[in-house]
Structure 1
Amino acid sequence: MEMETLLKYEWGVMMPEFIILGVATILSLIDLFMPKDRNRRPLALFALTGVVVALVSLLSLLSVDVTSILGDTFRLDSFAKAFKVLLFLGGALVLLLSLHYEPQEGLLYRGEFYYLFLTALLGAMMMASSGDLITLFVGLELLSISSYILVGLRKKYALANESALKYVISGGIATAITLFGMSYIFGFTGTTNIKEIAQYLNETVDLGHQYVLALAFFLTLIGLSFKLAAAPFHMWAPDVYQGAPTPVTAFLSVVSKTAGFVIVLRLLVSVFAQIPAEGSNSPSMLLSLQDYIAFLAAVTMILGNTIALKQRNVKRMLAYSSIAHAGYVLVAFATLSMFMFDAVWFYLLAYLLMNFGAFAILQVVSAQSQSEDIQVFAGLYKRSPMMAVAMAIFLLSLAGIPGTAGFIGKVNIFLGAFVTEPAHYVLAAIMIATTVVSYVYYFGIFVQMFFRPVEDKRKIEWPIGIIVVVAVCAFGTILFGLFPSIAYDFLGQFDHFSDFLQ
């Protein structure tokens, strides 16, 4: 590519990515030359500053029209802007959690955590703005490979080594399946540009081609289901969540999952929604296959919530809870209503707040008792009333109780199942039933906090980073539960993602 052409691009739309890349590079150099006996915690503040600056630069780009550079491989549209806000918010909370994370055996590679996390965040950002299969896959792999290393960061902890190995194997298989599905799309269309693929397939009405494209859809969906921890491709999640450092677990359950849904929406909706099912007057292929997506959502909700009932380890319980919540979001994807993008975005925002808050409190409580068993919450209200109340808010939101952001998110998805024709009554009924089942294990923690005698009478110290995370998450959970219009007004400036395929 000629230098004159490169200079004509509007590189300003990539400023958030450049900031994260620059900060990650600087952190890696500082960590390399810093004496081994020096504390690496200040690097977290530097990384946090980089994320905040990148978020500010993104907010300054909200009024910018749809911009495409580098041969339409990078797009700054409403979809990218909305989901990058979630990624940056989640990234900032992860860094605050990591600031005070100290496992029993110590963490020798703390410096590596910060720039590896930023590269993972950069991969998720590239996925949100990708307009090409190649850049989409590069972003996915940047996120995945960084995550593999982060999971195994506690090298002296046997469970972390086992988790990293399982994650690498399952992630490699998922990547291969996803790439295999993408290869069918490329082989059929002869291009990797998502917009060109959609335009080309919109003209393909030959019935014989439908089977090849359906195979590509299922392969891609199965591969991405591993990333989402959607049943029955969820087997890796409980072990990985349990063995990984708590900030990494929070990252995988929220930020990485958000990136997974980004690629599902960016690729599957933009491509397969344009393919006629059996003729130009028929519904799109995505509509004709929505029953299979609904089945995947139903299985994910049922398995996630029922298996969580038997868990004593709170990390594993939240892992199965994360699987169940992936099922709830898949309900919105399965119904394909006109409110799908809004419902998915709001639910991921609510899930980010309530899940990060829960993991922040779990990190503090488990660090003092050196256990993640549910009994560590026994008598928490007497030891730290504010912490117990905050945890109660997050549990109520996870359970979908009115007055919380989690309730609004579930109601939006539930109502979305009825605005389509035909309505998805069975899927909506399963969503309600499994939500009721989830009350059992969420309220089990309630019982421990408020109705069980205190086993450890030591007071719990609140590090400043944890206080910020819990305060932000609790405030946001209540605010968006009582006034969801604040989030929707912000989302409204994106014109409901009308420029998704411009």
Structure 2
Amino acid sequence: MEILKAGDLVHLRPELTIAACFLLLLLLDLFLPRRIGRSLIGWLGLAGVAVSAVFLALQWNPSEPVSLLGGSFRVDDFGTVLKLVFAGGTALVLLMGIGTAEREGIAAEGEATYLLLAALLGAMILASSADLITLYVGLETLSLSSYVLAGIRKKNRKANEGAFKYAVQGGISSALILYGMSFLYGISGSTELTAINSAVQAADASLTPLLYAAVFLLLAGFGFKIAAAPFHMWAPDAYEGASYPVAAFLAVVSKGAGLAVIFRLFYGVFFQQTLINGQNVSALEYDVFLAIMILAAAAMIVGNVLALKQKNMKRLFAYSGVANAGYLLVPIGIQFSAVHLTNFAELVYYLVAYLLMTVGIFAALLIVERLSGTEALLGFAGLYYRAPATTVALVLLLLSLAGFPVTAGFFGKLFILFGAVQVRMYALAIIMVVTSVLSYYYYFGILRQAFMRSEAPETAGARVPWTVYAVLWFCAVAGILLGFYPQGIISQVQNIFSVTVDLF
């Protein structure tokens, strides 16, 4: 493998900043008094993410992608855009977590902060991986940090149970991914995605069963990472046991990183660019992306149906996350073609909208739990009369999640829907519409409790840090503002992204 030169470090400034901040906070947490370090470490972690985001912004729209470490790590627009999304999501989660550790049952706030940074580093590595080994290193960095974060509330029985299920099923999914990768390596003799792509296109017909086995093993493994049905069974328990900031991180950044690697891996290995050139697609390529579309449809249906009967709010939004994993898989499954080239832009726009909606919702859930002392739907009873401002922000977030017109969630789903219709995936488009309408029942059920129920539970009276309110209102307002300029954002992302340049 090519040795990293000193001049190459400038391209790794975002990742190196996060790594350095992680080590610094780890040392500070050992030596600072807990009274001083509890909030200081949170703010320092937030500052580190902000500096990393500045370095990412400076990498925006380079003249051409930069390959490092023998081509195993790529600095390109695909990775830069997604890493900015991950950094933004982590920053909001860190801000929400400042001052909430003690109430959430987290013994040391510093541990949660630098573990979130480690998980972010893994997500950033995943977004730029062009080699199976680098990809797996990033995947395990993210996964191991997430397992610990899910169980960081050591004295909480639900946290222990959820983290155990998450870790066990996560280990199985990692094994499936490694097994699938072994087939690709055996066929190509290389771990680089471009070399594997060439080998797959030239593979003898006798190797086709092995290629199909690799596809389904990888799809099952990464389906777990993004909590797409039927590989979602860990999510409700892990979300319910985790603290609110950690649950938000698992719902947006961890899911987003899984989608990033699915996009780069499946296009980098199996896409032949035949549709763009107007040629016929091969049977293998057709079946690969058909499998992704089937997974998307299953996630949309299962997630929305199971969310209907949930009374615990964390579990409800865990199933909502399963459904949204399906919506986010649609732009990947419908492929690039001569009539539709905005797949990545649609994915990024809806991912940003989903990030704002979900982080904001978990901030609202934290506030309601402090006010009512319960995580159940009953905690929203009469919320408008107790906390009218919080209820207004909650309305904006739920309207966006439901896909109500003029919100970011509405335009995100609309662009994905139009993309499916453009390539004549009518069944997938119908499933999107029906399941989106189905979600109105449980989203508006929360508003029914807030506005039409006056019997509020006893108020817990716990103090809510101002940072949580800041996150709530930022996400609520940004989700609405994002809906006023959707086409401009999609055009901007589309202008800097090229499937042939960024993925090959």
Assess same fold via TM > 0.5.
Answer: yes
Q: Which residue number corresponds to residue 464 of structure 1?
A: 466
> What is the CA-CA distance between 1:275 and the residue it aligns to?
9.3
**Cα distance in structure 2, aligned partners of 1:455 and 1:424:** 46
Letter in 2 for 1:224: F
**Cα distance in structure 2, aligned partners of 1:342 and 1:182:** 28
**Cα distance in structure 2, aligned partners of 1:171 and 1:248:** 17
Q: Which residue number corresponds to residue 213 of structure 1?
A: 211
Q: Which residue number corresponds to residue 143 of structure 2?
A: 144
> What is the CA-CA distance between 1:199 and the residue it aligns to?
2.6
> What is the CA-CA distance between 1:29 and the residue it aligns to?
0.4
> What is the CA-CA distance between 1:38 and the residue it aligns to?
4.5
Q: Is the 8 A contact 1:375 1:448 kept in 2?
A: yes
Letter in 1 for 2:420: A
- Is 1:300 the counterpart of 2:299 in the alignment? yes
Q: Which residue number corresponds to residue 476 of structure 2?
A: 474
**Cα distance in structure 1, aligned partners of 2:294 and 2:388:** 42
Per-residue Cα deviation, 1:39-66 (whole angstroms, up to 9, x for no partner): 5121100000000010011101114231
Q: Which residue number corresponds to residue 413 of structure 1?
A: 416
- Is 1:92 the counterpart of 2:91 in the alignment? yes
Q: 1:257 aligns with which of 255, 258, 263?
A: 255
> What is the CA-CA distance between 1:462 and the residue it aligns to?
5.2
**Cα distance in structure 2, aligned partners of 1:109 and 1:287:** 50
Q: Which residue number corresponds to residue 371 of structure 1?
A: 374
Q: Is the 8 A contact 2:270 2:288 kept in 1?
A: no
Q: Is the 8 A contact 1:201 1:275 kept in 2?
A: no
Q: Which residue number corresponds to residue 443 of structure 1?
A: 444
> What is the CA-CA distance between 1:477 and the residue it aligns to?
0.7
Map residues 380-391 of structure 1 onto 2, 5 A cutoff.
380-391=383-394
Per-residue Cα deviation, 1:290-322 (whole angstroms, up to 9, x for no partner): 332222222111111011110000110000000
189-198 vs 133-142, which moves further: 189-198
**Cα distance in structure 1, aligned partners of 2:118 and 2:234:** 22
Give the SS at the match of 1:350: helix
Letter in 2 for 1:230: A
CA spacing shift, 1:138–1:340, aligned 2, 3 Å: same
Give the SS at the match of 2:16: helix
CA spacing shift, 1:377–1:103, aligned 2, 3 Å: farther
Letter in 2 for 1:92: A
CA spacing shift, 1:93–1:36, aligned 2, 3 Å: closer
**Cα distance in structure 2, aligned partners of 1:86 and 1:320:** 22
Give the SS at the match of 2:67: strand
**Cα distance in structure 1, aligned partners of 2:105 and 2:66:** 46
Q: Is the 8 A contact 2:271 2:285 kept in 1?
A: yes
Letter in 2 for 1:265: F
Letter in 2 for 1:477: G
- Is 1:322 the counterpart of 2:346 in the alignment? no
Q: Is the 8 A contact 1:287 1:336 kept in 2?
A: no
Map residues 54-93 of structure 1 onto 2, 5 A cutoff.
54-64=52-62, 65-93=64-92
Per-residue Cα deviation, 1:350-406 (whole angstroms, up to 9, x for no partner): 100111111101011112322100111111111121210110111111111101000
> What is the CA-CA distance between 1:33 and the residue it aligns to?
1.7
Q: Which residue number corresponds to residue 452 of structure 1?
A: 453
Identify unmatched segments of 5+ residues in structure 1. none
- Is 1:123 the counterpart of 2:126 in the alignment? no
Letter in 2 for 1:367: R
Q: Is the 8 A contact 1:341 1:496 kept in 2?
A: no
Per-residue Cα deviation, 1:105-129 (whole angstroms, up to 9, x for no partner): 7321221111111000000000001
RMSD: 2.1
Letter in 2 for 1:348: L
CA spacing shift, 1:395–1:203, aligned 2, 3 Å: same
**Cα distance in structure 2, aligned partners of 1:190 and 1:220:** 18
**Cα distance in structure 2, aligned partners of 1:490 and 1:54:** 22
**Cα distance in structure 2, aligned partners of 1:308 and 1:195:** 40
Q: Is the 8 A contact 2:393 2:472 kept in 1?
A: yes
Map residues 395-434 of structure 1 onto 2, 5 A cutoff.
395-420=398-423, 423-434=424-435
> What is the CA-CA distance between 1:133 and the residue it aligns to?
0.5
> What is the CA-CA distance between 1:465 and the residue it aligns to?
1.0
> What is the CA-CA distance between 1:464 and the residue it aligns to?
2.2
> What is the CA-CA distance between 1:276 and the residue it aligns to?
8.6
Give the SS at the match of 2:159: helix
**Cα distance in structure 1, aligned partners of 2:385 and 2:401:** 23
- Is 1:360 the counterpart of 2:358 in the alignment? no
128-137 vs 56-65, which moves further: 56-65
Q: Which residue number corresponds to residue 162 of structure 1?
A: 161
**Cα distance in structure 2, aligned partners of 1:86 and 1:496:** 19
**Cα distance in structure 1, aligned partners of 2:104 and 2:216:** 43
Give the SS at the match of 2:421: coil
Letter in 1 for 2:403: G
Q: Is the 8 A contact 1:154 1:245 kept in 2?
A: yes
Q: Is the 8 A contact 2:123 2:142 kept in 1?
A: yes
Letter in 2 for 1:376: G
> What is the CA-CA distance between 1:456 and the residue it aligns to?
4.6
Map residues 186-335 of structure 1 onto 2, 5 A cutoff.
186-204=185-203, 206-274=204-272, 282-284=280-282, 285-335=284-334
Q: TM-score, normalised by structure 2?
A: 0.94
Q: Is the 8 A contact 1:128 1:259 kept in 2?
A: yes
**Cα distance in structure 1, aligned partners of 2:403 and 2:470:** 24
Q: Is the 8 A contact 2:361 2:397 kept in 1?
A: yes
Over the matched positions of the two proteins, sequence identity in percent amounts to 44
Q: Which residue number corresponds to residue 46 of structure 2?
A: 48
Give the SS at the match of 1:175: helix
Q: Is the 8 A contact 1:78 1:499 kept in 2?
A: no
488-497 vs 132-141, which moves further: 488-497
**Cα distance in structure 2, aligned partners of 1:197 and 1:11:** 27
Per-residue Cα deviation, 1:156-200 (whole angstroms, up to 9, x for no partner): 111101111001100000000011001100111011111222233
Report the count of equivalent residues.
Answer: 495
**Cα distance in structure 1, aligned partners of 2:245 and 2:496:** 31
> What is the CA-CA distance between 1:141 and the residue it aligns to?
0.1
Structure 1 segments (4+ residues) deviating >4 Å: 36-39, 456-462
Give the SS at the match of 2:422: coil
> What is the CA-CA distance between 1:37 and the residue it aligns to?
5.3
**Cα distance in structure 2, aligned partners of 1:37 and 1:291:** 54
Q: Is the 8 A contact 1:273 1:287 kept in 2?
A: no
**Cα distance in structure 2, aligned partners of 1:447 and 1:49:** 39
CA spacing shift, 1:55–1:397, aligned 2, 3 Å: same
> What is the CA-CA distance between 1:449 and the residue it aligns to?
1.0
